[in-house]
Structure 1
Amino acid sequence: MVEEKFFLGRQPILDRTQQIVGFELLFRSPESLHAANILDVQAASASVIVNALTQFGIQDVLGRHKGFFNVTREVLMSDAVELLPKNRVVIELLESIVADQEVLERCRSLKALGFSLALDDHVYSPGFHDIYGLVDIVKVDVLETPAQDVPGMVDKLRKWPLTLLAEKVEHAEHYKFCSELGFDLFQGYYFARPVVLRQKKIDIGKITMMQLMKQVMADADWAEIEETFKQNPGLTYNLLRLVNSVAMGLRVRIKTLRHALTVLGMEQLKRWITLALYAVNDSNGVHSPLLEMAATRGKLMELLVLAARGRAGSELADQGFMVGILSLIDVLFEDSMAELIGKLNLVENVKSALLHRDGDLGALLELAEMLEQADFPAVSDQLEQCDLTLDQLLSAQLETFSWADKLIASL
Structure 2
Amino acid sequence: MFAFIARQPILDKEQDLFAYELLFRDGASGAYPLHEPKKAELITERFSTLGIDDISGNQKAFINFLPETIINRFPEELSADNVVVELTQNPAINTSLMNACEHLKQQGYKLALSDDKLESTILTPYPYIDIVKVDITKIKPEWLEQHIPTLAASGIQLVAEQVASLDQFAMCRDLGFDYFQGYFFTQPDTKSAKALPASKLTMLELMSQSAQPEFDLESVASIIERDAALSYLLLRFINNPMVNKRLKITSLRHALTYLGEVEVKKFIALLSLASLNDSKPLELLQVSLVRAKFCELFEEKKNGKDKSMSAFIVGLFSLLDTILDSEMPVILEKLPVSKGIKQALLGEACTFTDYLSTAKAFESGLWGIVISQSESLDISQKDLHEIFNRAIKWSNEMRQALSDFFPRATPNGKQ
**TM-score, normalised via structure 2 length:** 0.82
Matches within 5 A, 1:157-306: 157-196=151-190, 200-218=194-212, 219=214, 221-231=216-226, 235-236=230-231, 239-240=234-235, 242-254=237-249, 257=252, 259-283=254-278, 288-306=282-300
Deviations 1:190-216 (A, max 9, x none): 221123375535533333333333344
1:77 counterpart letter in structure 2:
I
SS of the residue 2:125 aligns to:
helix
Cα distance in 2 for partners of 1:125, 1:293 equals 35
Cα distance in 2 for partners of 1:17, 1:186 equals 10
Cα deviation for residue 43 of structure 1 reads 2.8
For structure 2, the 5+ residue unaligned runs are 404-415
Q: 1:363 matched to which residue of 2?
A: 354
Structure 2 residue 34 is the aligned partner of structure 1 residue 46: yes
Matches within 5 A, 1:26-41: 26-29=23-26, 41=29
2:21 to 14, 17, 24: 24
Q: 2:102 matched to which residue of 1?
A: 108
> How many residues were matched structurally?
393
1:344 to 335, 345, 349: 335
Cα deviation for residue 356 of structure 1 reads 3.2
Deviations 1:291-350 (A, max 9, x none): 1111111111222223334xxx11222222111101111112222222323443322222
Indicate if the aligned counterparts of 2:80 and 2:109 stay in contact, CA closer than 8 A.
Answer: yes
Cα deviation for residue 256 of structure 1 reads 5.0
Cα distance in 1 for partners of 2:36, 2:393 equals 21
Cα distance in 2 for partners of 1:237, 1:136 equals 46
* Of 391-400 and 98-107, the range deviating more from structure 2: 98-107
Cα distance in 2 for partners of 1:45, 1:282 equals 36
| Percent of aligned pairs with the same amino acid | 30
2:143 to 129, 140, 149: 149
Cα distance in 2 for partners of 1:322, 1:199 equals 23
Indicate if the aligned counterparts of 2:4 and 2:385 stay in contact, CA closer than 8 A.
Answer: yes
For structure 1, the 5+ residue unaligned runs are 33-39
Indicate if the aligned counterparts of 1:24 and 1:68 stay in contact, CA closer than 8 A.
Answer: yes
* Larger helix fraction of residues: 1
Structure 2 residue 77 is the aligned partner of structure 1 residue 86: no
1:350 counterpart letter in structure 2:
I
Matches within 5 A, 1:288-327: 288-309=282-303, 313-327=304-318
Cα deviation for residue 126 of structure 1 reads 3.5
Cα distance in 1 for partners of 2:307, 2:210 equals 18
Cα distance in 1 for partners of 2:279, 2:194 equals 21
Deviations 1:67-123 (A, max 9, x none): 211222222322234443333221111258773333322211111122221012442
Cα distance in 2 for partners of 1:385, 1:272 equals 32
Cα distance in 1 for partners of 2:249, 2:10 equals 33
Cα distance in 2 for partners of 1:214, 1:165 equals 39
Cα deviation for residue 383 of structure 1 reads 1.0
After superposition, the CA RMSD in angstroms is: 3.2
Cα distance in 2 for partners of 1:241, 1:288 equals 20
